[in-house]
Structure 1
Amino acid sequence: LASPDMAAQEETLLRFFDCYLKDVQPNPTDRLCSASKSISYATLGDGQWQTVGKWPPQNVNLKRFYLTPDKGLALGSGTPTAPATLHYRIDFDATTGPANRWATQNGGGDVVYDNRTGQAGKMLSFTSAPLTADADVTGHPVVALKLASDQPDGVVHAYMEDVASDGRVTYLTEGVLRLSRRKISASPPPYWQAGPFQTLARADYAPMPPGRMETVSLVMFPLSARIKTGHRIRVSISGADAGVYQDVVPPCACGFDVGLGGADPSYVDVPFHLIAR
């Protein structure tokens, strides 16, 4: 069960809205109304709450993993391999299931992600070597894909997962981007954002020329998760999430090519912090 429970979470939201949306004098003793800002978060797999004055925390460093064709499909932290292109035919049955982060916001109850091993064959999955020490992933992972679509529009879903030593695959976080909204703005965002800034404005809408390789970047939702020694980090790419997102293009024998390795490789930046023993 979530801690604090839903009632306590809703009470905190109401206090926050009272501070900033009501035309009343805020309670100066309430931390939510204080000029000194902070954020509290719990780390999945650790269970401890922490409070920091800056997000992401200062002890977190970005570690770049390259998407490579080595040993099947791998996440590698070394020099990118020779260039390669991998074709992915979209499986429109790929899904995060009925009890996901989106359903819970619509009265769907608790979030429950089952073992995702069965979804692996429906996506492109790139897996790191086993970790040699416990590590926390805390912040916003950012994915940059060299991608060519055979359709002028579509959706890219990127998932970060934990692969246990027994093979169990656990969902950690995700990011999603419609290809026609891929343009990165040259202007600064109106407030701090992790990764590239896409305005999603009508003026920046642009169909993707079929067959042309471009860099498509997306930011995953923030997380904090403990990855245990011997576990591996997996990044999985798909073009659909059945039962969750409406398909941008009707189900078809369509897909995209992903460029791996070379001088301009596909990669994921992971906010990484090794735990000292």
Structure 2
Amino acid sequence: DPKAFEQQLLLEHLRFFDRYLKEIDNGIDREPPITLYTMGGQGWRQVEEWPLEQTTEQILHLNEANRLTRELSETGSDNYQVDFHHSSTYSENEGNRFVGIGGQHPHSLPFRTEKDVHCLIYETDPLTGDLEVTGHPIVELFVSSTESDGDFFVYLEDVGEMGEALLVTEGCLRAGFADLVNNDEIIFSGSAGIDVLPDLPWHGYEEAQYNDDILDGSRVVSLEFDLFPTSWVFKAGHRIRLSIAGSDYPTFRLHPKLSPSNDPNAPDNKHPVVTVLYSADHPSVLRLPVME
């Protein structure tokens, strides 16, 4: 019930402000610091640390025939022509994850079944048992392109037994910011011995850290980035899907190099062909934090 969730979330906001603005001793400061909700699982719970110690990393390899497998492919690649008509919005309210983060919750499920026709997808065989993913999924894609830069949007999805695809979480990266940086130095500049957790692939955000020709000459580049944290149970019989797109309009502006007018239908748009590689030398993977 989305309204029940909103009420619970509002209650937690009120408890926080009662304690730290009104100085009401309601005990919130003595509770575990992290409260999370596991979709399809045990619901609300409180934990002491993040990421959870009980998780182990499960690696799924992108593979031929649009599969996600535990096995590494010796060689292989897929081509995908970027489709500027892909959009992550859903429901009549044009909701998306970023609207949800802002506190507006569209009262409909974020199905991506029809949206995935604009994407390059990989998915597992039906699961033989329930699988709980709690934490930050991470992708590493080895890519090349017919253009010198580009945007990459990745969606983790739960595919039901009838083929319906439901958004679990997502992440994105502009290729020009592919280089990784030390997050400890960014957050605590000048400090020593501080380890910022969780350890995720961090990228720069300053002009000097941006390479607008990173994919020039069909160069193969590693794009490693995390998706928004989640806690989700994939049920037995369902499939895990990874969906890759080169745009998410109008949630994000189109890449200015590829669509100077920010119009999916503009005649001067450039539609790059992106190659995703998966091999021993270029192992494109999805890393999932799986509860033991």
TM over 0.5: yes
Is the Cα–Cα contact under 8 Å of residues 90 and 239 in structure 1 kept in the other structure? yes
Specify the SS of the correspondent of 1:203. Answer: helix
Specify the SS of the correspondent of 1:138. Answer: strand
Aligned twin of 1:91: 83
Whole-angstrom distance in 1 between the partners of 2:77 and 2:271 = 18
Whole-angstrom distance in 1 between the partners of 2:234 and 2:10 = 30
Aligned twin of 1:215: 222
Letter paired with 1:127: E
Is the Cα–Cα contact under 8 Å of residues 84 and 262 in structure 1 kept in the other structure? no
Whole-angstrom distance in 1 between the partners of 2:34 and 2:102 = 25
Task: Pick closer, same or farther for the CA change 1:110–1:187 going to 2, 3 Å.
Answer: closer
Query: Structure 2: which 5+ runs fail to align?
Result: 188-195, 260-268
Whole-angstrom distance in 2 between the partners of 1:221 and 1:43 = 14
Aligned identity (percent) is 26
Is the Cα–Cα contact under 8 Å of residues 104 and 111 in structure 1 kept in the other structure? no
Whole-angstrom distance in 2 between the partners of 1:8 and 1:167 = 32
Aligned twin of 1:49: 44
After TM superposition, list the pairs within 5 Å mapping 1:68-107 onto structure 2: 68-69=63-64, 72-78=65-71, 80-97=72-89, 98-104=94-100
Aligned twin of 1:2: 2
Task: Pick closer, same or farther for the CA change 1:151–1:55 going to 2, 3 Å.
Answer: same
Q: Could you tell which deviates more after superposition, 150-159 or 6-15?
A: 6-15
Letter paired with 1:201: E
Of residues 142, 160, 163, the one that matches 1:164 is 160
Task: Pick closer, same or farther for the CA change 1:263–1:209 going to 2, 3 Å.
Answer: closer
Whole-angstrom distance in 2 between the partners of 1:125 and 1:231 = 15
Query: Structure 1: which 5+ runs fail to align?
Result: none
Provide TM-score, normalisation by structure 2.
0.81
Q: Is residue 2:34 matched to residue 1:39?
A: yes
Specify the SS of the correspondent of 1:234. Answer: strand
Task: Pick closer, same or farther for the CA change 1:111–1:203 going to 2, 3 Å.
Answer: farther
CA RMSD of aligned residues (A): 2.4
Provide TM-score, normalisation by structure 1.
0.86
